[in-house]
Amino acid sequence: MSTLHVFVVSPDTKSERRFDLHITVEQLKSKLELFTGIPASTQLISVLNSEDDPTVVKQLSDNSKALGFYSLRDWQVLKVDDLNPSASFTGQLTDVSQVDKFELSDEAYAQRKDSVLAYKQQHQVGRFAPKTEMINEAPPSVGISVNSRCEVESSEPGLSKRGTIRFVGETKFASGVWVGIEYDEPFGKNDGSVKGDRYFTCRPNYGVFVKPEKVKTGDFPELELDMDEEM
């Protein structure tokens, strides 16, 4: 095994990552700085068996050692702490106790004309929108299953568009069977709805609908940033 799958947690982030076992701890810290915001020079990396077990199994303390030296296992947890949080503001972005609260009663808020509630009522957004039903997908007949990982054929050389299949079936916007995909990156065109009809839900610009022949399903994990060429 040359690739390690782990969970990375820090005071402000949580993600699933893949790393080459041949990179050094120093190189790992440079990669983790992009994900966690914690400077490589002040990182303390501890290994846990799981998020439910806070026991520290080992610490990656030698910057010159390769990851393979530490006999790490897939799906362990790399807990990244900041030895100097006051300089990098680690943890302060999620500490709401430092934010002064402005409180307004429900009655006073409902009477305001410049609130989000008033905007939603005026424009019939959210719970004030006309009642519509989620369009049910047709039974898949193209050998593609919902929630499968996939890669979509791209006309741009070298660009891989990966994501998760969220819908397979017929639609109102065009005839035939379409595949609705939630991309890992904002390469899409919608949020799972087209012309007011919703087929699935995702973040804006992460959703797309393509024909089945442009979709390849299989083991397509989320692509990672690779800094090896800069080390």
* DSSP-assigned states of every residue in 26-88: HHHHHHHHHHH---GGGEEEEEEEETTEEEEEEE---TTSBGGGGT--TT-EEEEEES-HHHH
Q: What is the mean pLDDT of residues 105-129?
A: 79
Enter the tokens of residue 149.
């990982």
What is the reported pTM? 0.41
Q: What is the mean pLDDT of residues 192-204?
A: 95
Per-residue confidence (pLDDT) for residue 128, from 0 to 100: 73
Per-residue confidence (pLDDT) for residue 28, from 0 to 100: 96
Q: What is the mean pLDDT of residues 172-183?
A: 95
Q: What is the mean pLDDT of residues 95-111?
A: 71
Residue 76 confidence class, pLDDT cut points 50, 70, 90: very high
Enter the tokens of residue 57.
């199994």
Would you say residue 229 has pLDDT above 50?
Answer: no
- Range in 5-9, 20-24, 82-86 with the lowest mean pLDDT: 82-86
Q: What is the mean pLDDT of residues 119-136?
A: 70
Q: Give the tens place of pLDDT for each residue, 22-42.
A: 999 999 999 999 989 999 999
Pairing of strands 161-170, 197-198: unpaired
Would you say residue 54 has pLDDT above 70?
Answer: yes
- Range in 27-41, 103-117, 165-179, 211-225 with the lowest mean pLDDT: 103-117
Per-residue confidence (pLDDT) for residue 132, from 0 to 100: 55
Q: What is the mean pLDDT of residues 135-162?
A: 78
Per-residue confidence (pLDDT) for residue 166, from 0 to 100: 97
User: Among all chains, which residue has been given the structure tokens 């699933």?
Assistant: 16
Would you say residue 111 has pLDDT above 50?
Answer: yes
Per-residue confidence (pLDDT) for residue 208, from 0 to 100: 97
Burial class (CB in 10 A: 0-12, 13-18, 19+), 229: exposed
Per-residue confidence (pLDDT) for residue 134, from 0 to 100: 56
- On whether the CB atoms of residues 9 and 78 are closer than 8 A, the answer is yes
Per-residue confidence (pLDDT) for residue 231, from 0 to 100: 40
- Mean pLDDT over each residue of the chain, to the nearest integer: 86
